[in-house]
Chain A
Amino acid sequence: MSRAGEKTHTELIRACLDGDPLAWERLVDVVTPLIFSICATMRLSREESYDVFGQVSYLLLRNLDHVKSADRLMSYVATMTRREVGELRRRVQLAERSRQAIKRALYDIAPESPEKLYELTRLNEIINRAMVQLPERDYRLLRALFFEEGKPDYEQVAARLHMPVSSVGPTRLRCLKKLYRILKQKRFER
């Protein structure tokens, strides 16, 4: 397993603290899938997700010097995202209830218990924490395949990552094996 990812993210954090806007852009790019995946799991609308994103980005920016490693970064972002989602839900509880009812009616989604939703956000956090331990190329492939909207288009993913379409499937399997090894090795318990 490569530790390069972790070094890169630690360096990014340091560069952000030194005022490098490109490092901040890159760092935001790393945490965005986690924030939005938690928002998606909690069935937030796009406006609410954007709202949570803004709040979490603010908190991250103001607390960058306390986040020293890639693992800590993902854990912090996940915790803050869940907290902000909770805040948002408390603020708009009534509106949320009716919106959920409409969503359920539209998409036929069975209502899930808060415990189940929490479990799902924890799962997203753990997977993201493991993913940032992967080499950059593997991370980008899994992100493109599992954290982007809709069914992944292998041709587009292959073109974006400069790889033959035929190797997307086998590479995906290799990446998932690496991810599994990280999950097994690190456990990611609190």
Chain B
Amino acid sequence: MNREPDRVELLMCHLEGECSPDESRRLEALLKTDPALRRLRDFLRESTTSEKRPALYELRSAARELSARMFRDWRRMGSQTDPPRGLAVYDSKNLPIPEGVRPAVVDTRRLKYKTDDMELELSLYPVALNAYELVGQVAGPEITRPCRIELKSEARTMAAATDEFCLFYVPRLPVASYTLTVLADNRAVAVVDIDL
């Protein structure tokens, strides 16, 4: 280099192991007095040790799918606040199957829904080609005692009661689109849509 390198050039040189001892000493002195340069150095150093990062790139499409659905449901919800409609914040169906895992092994599905005051977690296990076993749990400040769960589809209505841990169980839930309502003291405290 004919001209004297600026701070960022010097830093890059150092990170690429191309600095002379003099340049390294100069950089060390600069780093002591320049917090912005230190931050840039820390970031570059951390981000180049990529083996520390799990493979998150593959999550991008799952994240996009989930957030698009969240937005769609949010818009559909409009100003409806009573009962509050839950938005899906987790759906394992969107996650790519880890390399080397046979699809049958991960054929269960986990779903999470959220309202401002409640969280609903569902685990679905296939028990037949067209039916799931459902285990769910409700949590939130309004859920202080066992409540009732109603699952309505076009063809049927099913119900379950939560236990003292707010867990509920439906042994056989036929594949369909459902509206799940959480009722506490006979009052609907949350509604979510589930597509099986």
Q: Give residues in A with beta carbon < 8 Å to B.
A: 16, 19, 21, 24-25, 28-29, 32, 36, 39-41, 43-47, 49-51, 53-55, 57-58, 61-62, 107, 109, 120, 123-124, 126-127, 146-151, 173, 176-177, 179-180, 183-184, 187
Contact = CB atoms under 8 A, between A and B. Distances in A.
Which of B9, B59, B66, B95 has the most C-beta atoms of chain A within 10 angstroms of its own C-beta? B59
Contact of B57 (A41, A58, A149): A149
Contact of A45 (B54, B71, B87, B89): B54
Contacts of A187: 35-36
A150 to B, nearest CB: 5
B67 A50 contact: no
B25 interface: no
Interface of B: 6-9, 12, 34-37, 39-40, 42-44, 46-47, 50-60, 62-64, 66-68, 70-72, 74-75, 87-90, 92, 94-95, 112, 114, 116
Contacts of A179: 40
B77 to A, nearest CB: 11
B35 to A, nearest CB: 8
Contacts of A53: 59, 63, 66-67
A25 B89 CA distance: 15
Contacts of B8: 173, 176-177, 180
A166 to B, nearest CB: 17
Contacts of B36: 180, 183-184, 187
B89 A58 contact: yes
B66 A126 contact: no
Given A25-B64, A62-B116, A49 B54 contact: yes
Given A51-B90, A127-B39, A28 B116 contact: no
A45 B55 CA distance: 9
B39 A183 contact: yes
Which of B68, B71, B116 has the most C-beta atoms of chain A within 10 angstroms of its own C-beta? B71
Considering the complex of A and B, which 10 residue pairs feature the smallest CB-CB distances, nearest first? A54-B89, A149-B57, A183-B36, A184-B36, A40-B53, A146-B47, A24-B71, A36-B56, A28-B67, A177-B8
Given A51-B89, A53-B59, A58-B114, 8 more contacts: A24-B68, A28-B67, A40-B54, A46-B56, A50-B62, A57-B67, A120-B46, A180-B37
Which of A58, A61, A149 has the most C-beta atoms of chain B within 10 angstroms of its own C-beta? A58
B72 A46 contact: no
Contacts of A120: 46
B70 A61 contact: yes
Given A25-B64, A40-B52, A51 B59 contact: no
Contacts of B50: 149-151
A96 to B, nearest CB: 14
14 contacts: A25-B71, A29-B64, A36-B56, A41-B46, A45-B54, A49-B59, A54-B90, A55-B89, A55-B114, A61-B87, A124-B43, A126-B39, A180-B37, A184-B36
